[in-house]
Structures are given as structure tokens and as C-alpha cells.
Amino acid sequence: MSDTFVQLTDLTLTYGKNIAVPALNLSIREGELIALLGPSGCGKTTTMRAIAGLLAPASGSIHIDGRDVTRLAANKRGIGLVFQSYALFPHLNAFENVAFGLRLQKLPEAEIKSRTEQGMATVGLSGFEGRKPAEMSGGQQQRLALARSLVMRPKVLLLDEPLSNLDARLRLEMRTELQRVQKETGVTMVFVTHDQAEALALADRIVLMQQGKIEQLGTPAQLYAQPETAFAAEFMGFENIFKVAGDSVQNDHGSLPLGYRPDSAILAWRPDGVRVGQGPHQGRVTACSFAGGHREYVIDSALGPVKANADIALPEAQIGDSLSFDLPQATARPLRA
């Protein structure tokens, strides 16, 4: 990967008088697959729309491949878009859907045919040229939309929650397909999603957003194992987050002694970081569910609900049972206030 390919500088985006994204700064490298991740309303889709040229910034700038495109029309930016709805033409067959943009450019017929066939082969749709979108599965329609963008040879490919309409099995297949296509073509890709599993599985780096700002930016491994704030920790699966007071953790329900004195303001544990069946703390099981290789418990304690996972080999606790647990220092993640 080379240096910065897409640069957002002090980018402020508004809807009327409401500021959706205040002074955002982000650098994206050439050939990078970057995920904009966050809950609904965090500004991720708004940011993508600005990169695409579908939303004019109130202030700040957007550079792509060294060129200022801030005030450039969407069709002049070299951007490819894959929408959540795919936006395929139902009356055209697969070949003509992919070739549509090339025909608008009035390219020679031989080049249109060559690039369309190559694009369909890239996404594994050779032999489907004559099918209408209604005759294709959801995964095939998704790949068709991807091919339609790729044949335009975009500098940047933007994908807006493209897997949300697929069932669980197809989502897993399309994750692999998107990764393969991105690595084979080398296109710079910006992927918008609210699903942390998709971001972790696909991205080279993740931009976690909250209220229009970047909460944390890093590799999937960094965000998964080393969240920096309570929001980042909760979003990445640390379901037990407590304030620290001396050698105890506390919340509105009460407090528990830890037996050690943390040097951070907040501590967080994943459910699999809570030790079940042994430890100094006691609680009552209020929920228990089987999850394959482990059981998931909710334990009512002095801190209120504590979520914990226990290996399937351990004796099963029933709802209403008393259960001991520990919040080990080794599995605690210290967080900023």
C-alpha cells in the first residue's frame, strides 16, 4: 500500500442546521479496505455520501488520488457505489446490467463485451449473462451489483451496508467474496456497516464512529482486543463495564471488591473473561442459554447483571441457582474515562 489515497480534512457535514459530522479528519491508503462502523445515526453513511459526491460539505475538503474533489460532481470523481438495495435494472439481463455504465461512456462494442465478461468472471458469474435479476439469488444479485461497479474501474469503491439483505449463510459467503475481489483488483474500498463481525472479518482498518466523530481507529485486532473507551468496548463485545473506586468496581446497583487496585478509571470484561464456578463473588442465575461450545449466563449480583460464558464441560447451572464468579485482573480491559 502506498501513502494516502483518500483524504478527508476538517470535513463538516450538515442536514439543515443540524451538524451530522463535525470536522472529520481521515486518511485512507491506496488499495485499503476500510470499514466505517457504528450504530445508526453515527455519521458513517453521511460520510460515505460525501465521499461519493451525493452530499455537499458545509466546510472542509475531500481529496482523492491527490485531486481536490470537494465541489466536483459525483460522476466526475471516479467513484463506484454498491447500494444496500443493489439498484439493479429488473428489465435488463445480467450482462446488460453490468454493461450499462460502459454503454453510457459510448465505448466500442468490443471493449464493452470484453470488460463486461471479465467483470462477471471476477465475481464468479460467468454463464449467468442472460439471466434477469429476478432469476438470481440474493448473493448473485449482490455480486452482479459489485461487477457493475468494478467494470467502471473506479478509484474508490463505496459499499453501503451491502450484506444486510442477505441471510446468515450468504453473508458469510459474500464476506469471503468481497475480500477476494478487493485483493485481486486492488481497488480502494470503503465499507459502511453497523455489524462489528463484518467489519472485523473484512477490513484492513476500522473507523468506529459515534455522533459524527471517530471514537477509535485501528486494525480489527486492535479494536477487538484493545478498545480505548467504554463506547468502543461495549460495541466490540465487552458487556461488563464498571467504574473503578479504589480496589472495587461499582455502578448504580452497588460495588464489588476486586482484591487489587486498578490504575484506570473504568474496567471491562468480555463474558468469556468472567470466571464462572469459582471466585469470591456470588450471584443468582437469571438466564442461561446453550451456545454450542459454551453456555451463556446472566448472573444477578451486587453489580446488577453480570454476563458470563462457561465452558460446556462445566456443570450446568439452572435459573435461580446461586453461582460463584470472579472478575480476574488478567482478563480486564482498562478504559479511559
Mean of the per-residue pLDDT values of the chain:
93
Q: What is the pLDDT of residue 1?
A: 43
Q: What is the pLDDT of residue 87?
A: 83
Which CATH number is 4-233's, of 3.40.50.720, 3.40.50.360, 3.40.50.300, 3.30.930.10?
A: 3.40.50.300
- 88, amino acid identity: L
User: Phi and psi for 118 in degrees, rounded to 5?
Assistant: -65, -40
- 5, amino acid identity: F
Q: What is the pLDDT of residue 86?
A: 77
Nearest to 32 by CA among 177, 202, 262: 202
166 to 1, 138, 163: CA distances (angstroms)? 31, 6, 6
* pTM to 2 decimal places: 0.88
Task: Fill in the DSSP letter of residue 151.
Answer: T
Q: What is the pLDDT of residue 184?
A: 87
Domain at 238-335, CATH class: mainly beta
Tell me where in the chain the CATH 3.40.50.300 domain(s) lie.
Answer: 4-233
Q: What is the pLDDT of residue 256?
A: 94
Q: Which helix (H) or strand (E) element contains residue 170?
A: helix 168-185
Q: What is the mean pLDDT of residues 235-254?
A: 94
Is a pLDDT exceeding 60 seen at residue 25? yes
286 to 116, 296, 318: CA distances (angstroms)? 57, 11, 9
pLDDT band for position 172 (cuts 50, 70, 90): confident
Q: What angle do CA 21, 226, 51 make, to 5 degrees?
A: 25
pLDDT band for position 214 (cuts 50, 70, 90): very high
- Name the percent of the chain lying above pLDDT 90: 81
β-pair type (205-210, 33-37): parallel
- Tracing cell 481536490 back to the chain, one arrives at 68
Tell me where in the chain the CATH 2.40.50.140 domain(s) lie.
Answer: 238-335
CB of 60 within 8 A of CB of 8?
Answer: yes
Q: What is the mean pLDDT of residues 90-115?
A: 94
pLDDT band for position 15 (cuts 50, 70, 90): very high
